[in-house]
Amino acid sequence: MIKNIVSAFCISFSVAVFSQETLITFQNDLKTSSSDIKDVIPVVNTETDEIAFFVADAKNVYGYKIDADFKVSEKISSEEKRRKFKVIIGSSASKDDSYRVFLTNKNQTDFASVRFSFKDGSTSLKEFSIDRNETFIQTVVSKNKFYLIAASRLYKSLSIYTFNENGDPQKHNINIADLRFIDTKGKNKALTSLLLEGEDLNKFEENTPNSIELTSEFRKMFVRDHTILITLDHHKMFTQVLQIDLNTLLATSFQFRKPKLGEKAKRTNSYLNGDHLFTLATTKDEFTVEILDFATGNLVKEYSATKNDSITFKNTPIMQEGGIYDSSRELGKTKRFLRKIAKGNTGLSVRKVKNRFHLTIGGYIVQNTGGGMMMPFGGIPMGSIGAVTVFFNPTQMAFNSFTNNKTTRIESLLDTDFNHIQGEIEENAFDKMKEFKSNNKGGTVFKYKDFFIKARYHSFSKEFNFKKFTD
């Protein structure tokens, strides 16, 4: 018996050890202020694999350049120069060993960038503006370059701002005049209205764990191969896609048909992964998932179940998690699953891990605690922890998105031909990070190559610790 217990402990310990790896531990020896750390800003140079790691307290900004071998190679320190610009929206990296962090104010009306040069140890702040009739939408960082997306309701125009080495903006008008989009009722509607309505547009990293709370949104932005892809699910029967090539700055649009069940559904949704679009339609009586070829729109695979069926393609029980009591319980019958997700915000997420597709289907209900609605992302205001905003570091946003909202979900495993396969759902990288509190001041999570890094700060020793996590 004792031998078995020891063996079990050894196995558990082995799994814990190999699921995480310490990449670097270094001291924040530039910090002299006694004030708490406010922001942590990781910038990955995709050309050199270096990491520029900036730490800001109330008085100063401290920068550390970490090379591809995870050794601190350069340091920089300067006075805090951001003043009214508190929301971090993106970054860029230059070949002259300098990095630029882009910011906006709380109202997203004024903008600035701070340049950090590890070559000569200098920092400088430059303010810039967009056209007064435009509204800031989102940002993109691709191939170390920063892009700002804005739109005008008045002129129904879309623009992208690029920036030169000096941080000067150049506006590019995106021709959308010939692109047709429809609203929830199928009537023609200006693209700019669809992009600007509601909350901020969230952006998603493919194959990063994302909660139903995030993926249930009608609008999603993905960036791949230097291309912006924005999916719009306002209409129950169509997923509309806006595509912008960042090389040419040309825009195109196309539609995907959703499951026929969508005609009866209260809400439908979709999620993009690789070369396929996954679509979902659900009612209180049944649901359907269709997998479409993203290049052709052709149906590749379909899964469905009614309230009287067993869901044969799930790999987990029907789970209900969260709520004001942070409880977790199993729901045995399909009809209960459908009833729960049909009354809330429905969505799905897809990740490809180890040549298998991990599919999550579900819905959530925003909880009312008596003092008002629960804030998204655990009540975290923008820019307060690890510089988490909807514009900067989508990995941190995804990590923080598992909230107190009540979520009902199932999870499935599919092979590369999208056939259901048996097997247990393994812990993802975020699950393995649970011992690290997301509200740790000075902590953050970010993606590096094909894995995730959790940075943790120990205020007493002033040490940062980087750990590697994989699925």
Mean pLDDT over 353-364 rounds to: 94
User: Cβ distance 272 to 220 under 8 Å?
Assistant: yes
Give the pLDDT mean for 340-348: 90
C-alpha 150, offset from chain centre: 20
pLDDT at 83 (0 to 100):
77
Give the confidence band of 98 by pLDDT, cuts at 50, 70, 90.
Answer: very high
CB atoms within 10 A of CB 225: 9
**Residue 263's pLDDT is what?**
95
Q: How confident is the model at residue 441 (pLDDT cuts 50, 70, 90)?
A: confident
Query: 119-128: per-residue pLDDT in tens?
Result: 999 999 999 9
The DSSP 8-state label assigned to residue 263 in this structure reads G
pTM of structure: 0.90
Distance CA 241, CA 425 (A): 31
Calculate mean pLDDT across residues 296-313.
96
| pLDDT value of position 198 | 84
Q: Residue 323: what pLDDT?
A: 54
Distance between CA 63 and CA 41 in Å, rounded? 9
CA–CA distances in Å: residue 343 to residues 311, 319, 340, 370, 373: 19, 16, 6, 20, 17
CA distance 374 to 359: 27
Structure tokens that stand for 156 in this block: 């129904």
- Per-residue pLDDT for 470 more than 80? yes
Task: DSSP letter for 261, please.
Answer: G
Tokens of 276: 């396929």
The encoded tokens of residue 281 equal: 């339609």
> Could you tell me the pLDDT band of residue 332, with boundaries at 50, 70 and 90?
confident
Sheet with 123-128, strands from edge to edge, namely 87-93, 98-104, 111-117, 123-128
Q: What is the pLDDT of residues 202-228, one digit of tens each?
A: 999 989 999 999 999 999 999 999 999
Q: Confidence band (pLDDT; 50, 70, 90) for 25?
A: very high
| Between residues 78 and 323, the one the model is more confident about | 78
| Average pLDDT score, the chain | 88
Whether 16 has a pLDDT exceeding 70, the answer reads: no
How far is 378 from 403, CA to CA, in rounded Å?
Answer: 5
Write the pLDDT tens digit of every residue in 167-189.
999 999 999 999 999 999 999 99
Tell me if 93 sits within 8 A of 52, measured CB to CB. Answer: yes
198: helix, strand or coil: coil
pLDDT band, very low/low/confident/very high, at 281 (cuts 50, 70, 90): very high
What is the per-residue pLDDT for 12? Answer: 41
pLDDT band at 329 (very low <50, low <70, confident <90, very high): low
For 23-65, the DSSP string reads EEEEE-TT----SPEEEEEEEE-TTT--EEEEEEESSEEEEEE
Q: Convert the pLDDT of each residue in 237-251 to its tens digit.
A: 999 999 999 999 999
Reported as a pLDDT band with limits 50, 70 and 90, residue 387 is: low
User: Above 80 in pLDDT, residue 427?
Assistant: yes
Q: What is d(CA 340, CA 361) in angstroms, rounded to the nearest whole number?
A: 12
**Tokens standing for residue 403:** 């909230």
For 9, the 3-state DSSP assignment is: helix
